[in-house]
Amino acid sequence: MSSLAQPIAAIATASGRASVGVVRISGQGLDSFCRELIGHDLTPRYAHYLPIFDGDGSLIDQGIVLFFNAPHSFTGQDVLEIQGHGGVPTMQLLLQRCLAVGKSVGLRLAEPGEFTLRAFLNDKIDLAQAEAIADLIDATSSAAAKAAAASLSGVFSNEVHKLSEQIVALRILVEATLDFPEEEIEFIEKYQVKQQLEQILKQMNQVLTTSSQSSYLKEGLKVVLVGEPNVGKSSLINAICGQDIAIVTDIAGTTRDRIQESLTLDGVPIFITDTAGLRQTDDPIEMIGIERTWQAIAQADVVLNIMDIRHRTSPLFSWPKKQEWRGKEIIHVLNKCDHLDKLDGILDGVDERSVILSAKTGYGLDQLKQKILQIAGRQVGEVSPWLGRTRHVAALGLSLEHLNNAAQHVAHDDKVLDLLAEELRLSHLALGEITGQVSSDDLLGRIFSSFCIGK
Ligand SMILES: Nc1nc2c(ncn2[C@@H]2O[C@H](COP(=O)(O)OP(=O)(O)O)[C@@H](O)[C@H]2O)c(=O)[nH]1
Ligand SMILES: [Mg+2]
């Protein structure tokens, strides 16, 4: 990773036609650079309206120049922001002029995410907050943007810190008692270790659930439509997406390959897949389609088990042992309800994840969408408390696993303190990866390289 001392510059705004564009520079001790570029000293945090001249004395642009002196800036270093007119040539000229003036101090172009990386390395923000900046910029819905803004303000990091602090408090107690093994049992009772562990486990489970549900806002929910031929899968994907993307006929086996479409439900990106109907067949092409259906099920988060309401047969019931179903959220869709005169009592005693629907008339479609959103942990219009990433979910899962092991040791063993200490250490370590207290160069490289330049 590159040296923090070297100053960096980039155009921070998107390239194109815009009223304003920003060139941003970060480095240690930019005073002399500013003096040479502008001609005089700059008052920190003051909006200077100034001309910027090229090397030959010709005017490039007039704009607002802001100087943030270290450590009171986004990166924690001196930061200069030049707001010029947002055309591409003007922005390029301003950047080139900065690079020319800054040559003597080693000013170079910034890499993607390098300003944010500096903010992280200078303890201005933690790793989860740094990720939230990228998530805020990349958000594809207002719900995802609001959740990312909450993460950036530190809501998620605070939850992780609270968990960390409780584990640390317990670690200190355990490690202090390690040298006195004869006091183990009294120790566990005296400090109510069991109860403390239960309390932390409960909290961690809640944080994990919210993180995993909110990660759907960013990463989307993979939904697959599955059923016997002719139950109305293709009709339903068309109805959900509001357009004819799949061929619908009453000839069984019409859909031979997977058809994918994406849409947004209340801010949650949904990737929906129509599949070939599952049945026993000798047709080699249909067999390939059916193989792909099983693959689609294996990759999905949610399975819509579509049935004809009059027969209610399903591959889920014919092949219940297929491992592809494992861990999937399943919604049972009783389609073609327009064939029935009366719908009363049909859902009595049936799994609550069932919906009566007609892909033909649209009956039940809103209810189905609600059920899909519920799986993503969302009530319509609700703001998620923060935005999780898969990385956070994995780290929380690992931390939880070690905490569970710790609880097991306490529950089953007498001489447990050293094992308990080790599990608590590993649990704490996993949490540290979320906020970046423990992080490798490799991890940082992967996170920051996905940023846009100038951020
Ligand atoms: N009456 C009625 N017919 C439907 C409904 N959904 C699908 N169909 C009909 O059932 C047949 C098979 O539909 P299709 O969507 O191709 O089923 P798939 O094989 O599961 O993809 C077509 O003739 C559709 O028009 C529904 O809700 N009501
Ligand atoms: Mg079909």
What is the CATH classification number for the domain harbouring 117?
3.30.1360.120
Q: Residue 1 has what pLDDT? A: 42
Say yes or no: 147 and 110 in one domain. no
Q: Residue 183 has what pLDDT? A: 67
Low-confidence ranges of the chain (pLDDT < 50): 1
Closest ligand relative to 258 C-alpha: 2
What tens digit of pLDDT does each residue of 272-291 get? 999 988 888 888 888 888 88
Instruction: Identify whether 450 is part of a domain.
Output: no
Q: What range does the domain containing 324 cover?
A: 230-375
Say yes or no: 182 and 312 in one domain. no
Say yes or no: 249 and 370 in one domain. yes
User: Which CATH number do you get for residue 425?
Assistant: 1.20.120.430
Question: Which residues, chain by chain, have CB under 5 Å from ion ligand 2?
Answer: 233-234, 255
Q: Residue 378 has what pLDDT? A: 66
Q: Residue 282 has what pLDDT? A: 86
Instruction: Identify whether 3 is part of a domain.
Output: no
Residues with CB under 6 A from ligand 1: 227, 229-235, 248-250, 254-255, 277, 335-336, 338-339, 358-360
Q: Residue 355 has what pLDDT? A: 96
- Residue 335 Cα: closest atom of ligand 1: 27
Say yes or no: 271 and 290 in one domain. yes
Say yes or no: 108 and 195 in one domain. no
Which residue's CA is minimally distant from atom 19 of ligand 1? 230
- Residue 225 Cα: closest atom of ligand 1: 20
Distance 269 CA to ligand 1 centre (A): 26
Number of structural domains found in the chain = 3
Q: Residue 185 has what pLDDT? A: 61
Distance CA 321, CA 189 (A): 45
pTM over 0.85: no
- Residue 359 Cα: closest atom of ligand 1: 27
